[in-house]
């Protein structure tokens, strides 16, 4: 199979040139900024996952994995999100699943 060469649109090429010039002029983004933004993104995603939790086993597993990763990485607010989820579970806000 013949591969097509990598191409970008003129608009994207201009944007990449601007980014490259700015990085050359001002330097790169500090590591601390990148880590902080990554942790903030993780916290937002975890909050979204808690809000969307419907009681299914599959989503429970995904949430557990996300909580463990977030705690390991040092995401702030994990304990509060766990309490919110516990409150949601104890209040019976989730649809009850029928036994098979």
Which pLDDT belongs to residue 96?
A: 56
Give CB contacts under 8 A, 24+ apart, made by 53-61.
Answer: 53/85, 53/88, 53/94, 54/94, 54/95, 55/89, 55/94, 55/95, 55/96, 55/97, 56/97
13 has a pLDDT exceeding 90: yes
100 has a pLDDT exceeding 60: no
7 has a pLDDT exceeding 50: yes
Residues 36-94 pLDDT 10s:
999 999 999 999 999 999 989 999 999 999 999 999 999 999 999 999 999 888 887 66
Which pLDDT belongs to residue 93?
A: 66
- Interacting residues of 83 by C-beta distance below 8 A, sequence separation 6+: none
Distances (CA, A) of 22 to 11, 16, 28, 60: 17, 10, 9, 44
């Amino acid at each position: 199979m013949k591969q097509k060469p990598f191409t970008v649109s003129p608009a994207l090429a201009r944007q990449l040139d601007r980014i490259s010039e700015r990085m050359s002029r001002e330097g790169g983004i500090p590591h601390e900024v990148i880590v902080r933004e990554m942790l903030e993104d993780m916290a937002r995603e975890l909050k979204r996952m808690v809000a969307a939790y419907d009681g299914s086993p599959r989503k429970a597993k995904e949430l557990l994995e996300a909580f463990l990763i977030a705690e390991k990485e040092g995401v702030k607010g994990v304990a509060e999100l766990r309490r919110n989820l516990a409150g949601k579970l104890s209040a019976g806000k989730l649809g009850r699943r029928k036994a098979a």
